[in-house]
């Protein structure tokens, strides 16, 4: 592999948006102790030289915002203001592409040229995509965005993972496929249907219910397309399974079906139904007038993982639905009345000739909670649901969360500092606490990173949340006790020892969701991050004092000097498939814990 000379746009293009640059350098600086901040600049040593990046916002949590320029200067002491300023001038300005190459060569000298070039090209492709996606978003804004807040927010996450070197990497998609199927372009597309012989169906759902559910989905989709049941293929009418596939999934399946020898049992119906569009994850797709979303197996590598679903992941969704139906599950939901746990209770795939479930054709059905059965063809009431990752994203140095805090302050005649603390306190109670209750009192680990949290907003405040992604669920010993009637007959699909789970959970719920939210509020309001940490520290302390069944997570957050952090930069550079790593610990490191102090801070009342 060689470097694509156009992989990373030059400075004339790259500064359309700083989101790609921001995620690249923030992800790197979290994983090395060498980076330092001085005089509103981030400095990255490169031997006798160093990179200097002017910052528009300095984050104690490492979520900096960048002005967009990069300078290559001599390695001098950063506490000497005169020396630093004299080196930072236009003569020393370099492009993002050169900065990437210099950084990788210095910090990872042992990687081979193929790995270096692949990483370089992926970073470039991601950066180029972010710029194009931002232009598409601006064009949609001018034309008038959808009244559907849910999908509008899903398709506005143009920057992707905010702490990743190539957050919109999407191999091996062509530009045409990116435009057609990735969420940021908000395009509508058709899904494709296959008929599966009953003996070759892989699922946990009883066959009659499974056939009825998928056939009803096909029938309703045809109806919305203006077609009748006469368009339903004969095999499906005769009792074969109607299995939908994403166009990319179907394309890959057609190219691989020969090796499975299943021509007689998996029949391409040559039938498409329209009206689907991608959510922020790309592999979960949405139709506003149908009762199910689809979560599909995609042969595409997005950020760190090949997005193929597996049987074991799909089974977690079924087990989670079973848990919620138990008495203890009902009790848990009653304790969090403003939280909706979106279920994925049904899945289907194809068995090979040996009876093994195949990953590629696997499809999960996810509740479409934005669908209203009573009036599927009428305009839907506008939801106030927003993707947390999109709300935290800063475009033109401003985030949606920052706007909410400012509006809340203005409407209630509060200072920004008081408004910020009150907003965060509400976020802790309505968003973070329910997820902690699931962990501490029920042994359910919800890996709630900010792309799996949907905020419910009223009067500029968070009043509830929705959690999705049943594959990101694990169970501890407490779950085995609380849901013992369920586990008398089956094993947990993903069991973890409660002594080991807290650092892992903290990366998703704290590092990815809470700390990004704190930084977004602070950056937009100029309220000191330390002031906001106190709100969180007090909440964790209160929840621990309430004597949960297992206080381990709160203990970890309040007494550990460090938190677990995923090395997204290293993982992506090394080309690991995170989903199949035998030892995930190798991609984690430790970062300072902002909620730890030997002497607790005095409370700053929100």
Q: Tell me the pLDDT band of 259, cut-offs 50, 70 and 90.
A: confident
Residue 527: pLDDT over 70: yes
pLDDT at 603: 39
Q: CA 61, CA 448: separation in Å to the nearest integer?
A: 19
Q: Which residue has the higher pLDDT, 37 or 17?
A: 37
Residue 439: pLDDT over 70: yes
pLDDT at 303: 84
Q: pTM for the whole thing?
A: 0.93
Q: Tell me the pLDDT band of 3, cut-offs 50, 70 and 90.
A: very low
46 sits in which H/E element: strand 41-46
Q: Do residues 267 and 250 lie in contact, with contact meaning Cβ atoms separated by under 8 Å?
A: no
Residue 78: pLDDT over 60: no
pLDDT at 86: 56
Residue 480: pLDDT over 80: yes
pLDDT at 6: 43
Tens of pLDDT, residues 55-66? 999 999 999 999
Q: What is the mean pLDDT of residues 349-363?
A: 97
Going from the C-alpha of 528 to that of each of 406, 519, 520, 521, 571, the distances in angstroms are 15, 9, 11, 9, 32
Residue 600: pLDDT over 70: no
Beta bridge partners of 366: 293
pLDDT at 273: 99
Q: What is the mean pLDDT of residues 525-552?
A: 97
Q: Tell me the pLDDT band of 532, cut-offs 50, 70 and 90.
A: very high
92-106, 507-521, 576-590: which range is least confident on average?
576-590
Q: What is the mean pLDDT of residues 321-335?
A: 98
Q: What is the mean pLDDT of residues 167-185?
A: 95
Rg (CA), the chain: 25
Helix axes 552-559, 529-545, angle to 10 degrees: 150
Residue 10: pLDDT over 50: no
pLDDT at 14: 40
Q: Tell me the pLDDT band of 606, cut-offs 50, 70 and 90.
A: very low
Nearest to 568 by CA among 7, 157, 126, 59: 126
pLDDT at 604: 38
pLDDT at 382: 55
Residue 1: pLDDT over 50: no
What are the residue ranges of helices labelled H in 190-280? 207-224, 234-237, 247-260
Residue 568: pLDDT over 50: yes
Extract the runs of DSSP E, i.e. beta strands, from 459-499: 461-467, 473-475
Could you check whether the bond before residue 446 is cis, i.e. omega within 30 degrees of 0?
no
Residue 392: pLDDT over 80: yes
Percentage of residues in the chain with pLDDT exceeding 90?
Answer: 82
pLDDT at 583: 84
pLDDT at 141: 85
Q: What is the mean pLDDT of residues 218-240?
A: 97
Residue 316: pLDDT over 70: yes
pLDDT at 12: 30
Q: What is the mean pLDDT of residues 131-148?
A: 85
Q: What is the mean pLDDT of residues 216-224?
A: 98
Mean pLDDT of the chain, nearest integer = 91
Residue 602: pLDDT over 50: no
pLDDT at 277: 98
User: In degrees to the nearest 10, what's the CA dihedral of 245, 247, 249, 252?
Assistant: 130
Question: Token match 């094993």: residue?
Answer: 491
Helix axes 498-506, 552-559, angle to 10 degrees: 50
Q: Tell me the pLDDT band of 421, cut-offs 50, 70 and 90.
A: very high
Residue 300: pLDDT over 80: yes
Q: CA 81, CA 69: separation in Å to the nearest integer?
A: 19
Residue 49: pLDDT over 90: yes
Nearest to 277 by CA among 267, 288, 268, 285: 285
Q: Tell me the pLDDT band of 257, cut-offs 50, 70 and 90.
A: confident
pLDDT at 13: 34
Q: What is the mean pLDDT of residues 313-331?
A: 97
Burial of 490 (0-12, 13-18, 19+ CB in 10 A): exposed
pLDDT at 518: 99
Q: What is the mean pLDDT of residues 463-479?
A: 94
Q: CA 423, CA 461: separation in Å to the nearest integer?
A: 6
Residue 359: pLDDT over 70: yes
Give all domains of the chain, ordered by start, each with its CATH number. Answer: 11-146 (no CATH), 188-367 (no CATH), 385-592 (1.10.510.40)
pLDDT at 76: 66
């Amino acid at each position: 592999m060689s470097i694509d000379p156009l992989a990373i746009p030059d400075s004339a293009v790259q500064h359309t948006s700083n989101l790609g640059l921001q995620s690249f350098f923030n992800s790197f600086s979290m994983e090395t102790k060498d980076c330092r901040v001085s005089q509103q600049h981030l400095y990255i040593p490169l031997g006798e030289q160093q990179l200097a990046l002017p910052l528009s916002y300095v984050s104690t949590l490492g979520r900096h915002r960048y002005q967009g320029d990069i300078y290559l200067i001599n390695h001098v002491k950063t506490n000497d203001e005169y020396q630093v300023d004299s080196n930072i001038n236009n003569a020393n300005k370099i492009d993002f592409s050169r900065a990437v190459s210099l950084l990788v060569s210095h910090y990872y000298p042992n990687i081979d040229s193929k790995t270096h070039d692949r990483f370089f090209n992926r970073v470039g492709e991601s950066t180029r995509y972010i710029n194009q996606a931002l232009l598409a978003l601006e064009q949609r804004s001018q034309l008038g965005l959808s009244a559907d807040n849910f999908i509008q927010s899903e398709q506005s996450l143009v920057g992707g993972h905010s702490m990743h070197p190539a957050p919109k990497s999407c191999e091996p998609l062509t530009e045409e496929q990116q435009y057609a199927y990735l969420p940021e372009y908000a395009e509508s597309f058709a899904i494709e249907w296959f008929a599966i012989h009953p003996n070759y169906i892989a699922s946990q759902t009883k066959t009659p219910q499974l056939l009825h559910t998928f056939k009803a989905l096909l029938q309703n989709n045809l109806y919305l397309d203006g077609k009748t049941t006469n368009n339903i293929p004969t095999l499906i009418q005769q009792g074969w399974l109607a299995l939908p596939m994403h166009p990319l999934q179907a394309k890959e399946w057609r190219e691989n079906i020969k090796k499975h020898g299943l021509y007689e049992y998996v029949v391409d119906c040559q039938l498409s139904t329209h009206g689907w569009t991608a959510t922020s994850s790309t592999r979960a797709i949405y139709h506003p007038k149908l009762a199910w979303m689809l979560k599909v197996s995609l042969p595409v590598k997005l950020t760190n993982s090949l997005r193929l679903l597996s049987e074991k992941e799909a089974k977690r969704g079924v087990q989670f639905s079973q848990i919620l139906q138990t008495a203890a599950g009902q009790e848990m939901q009653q304790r969090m009345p403003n939280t909706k746990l979106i279920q994925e209770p049904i899945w289907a795939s194809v068995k090979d000739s040996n009876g093994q479930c195949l990953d590629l054709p696997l499809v999960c059905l996810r509740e479409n909670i934005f669908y209203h059965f009573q009036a599927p063809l009428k305009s839907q009431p506008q939801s106030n649901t927003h993707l947390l990752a999109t709300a935290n994203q800063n475009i033109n140095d401003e985030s949606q969360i920052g706007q909410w805090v400012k509006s809340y302050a203005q409407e209630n005649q509060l200072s920004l500092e008081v408004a910020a603390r009150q907003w965060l306190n509400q976020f802790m109670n309505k968003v973070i606490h329910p997820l902690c209750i699931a962990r501490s009192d029920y042994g359910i680990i919800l890996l709630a990173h900010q792309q799996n949290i949907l905020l419910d907003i009223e009067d500029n405040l968070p009043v509830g949340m929705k959690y999705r992604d049943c594959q990101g669920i694990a169970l501890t010993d407490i779950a085995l006790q609380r849901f013992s009637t369920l586990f008398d007959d089956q094993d947990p699909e993903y069991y973890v020892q409660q002594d080991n789970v807290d650092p892992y959970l903290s990366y998703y719920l704290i590092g990815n969701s809470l700390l990004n939210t704190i930084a977004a509020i602070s950056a937009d309001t100029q309220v000191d991050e330390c002031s906001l940490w106190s709100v969180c520290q007090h909440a964790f302390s209160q929840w621990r004092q309430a004597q949960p069944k297992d206080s381990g997570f709160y203990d970890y957050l309040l007494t550990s000097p460090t938190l677990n952090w995923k090395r997204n930069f290293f993982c992506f550079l090394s080309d690991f498939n995170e989903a199949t790593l035998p030892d995930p610990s190798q991609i984690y490191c430790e970062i300072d814990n902002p909620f730890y102090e030997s002497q607790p801070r005095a409370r700053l009342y929100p």
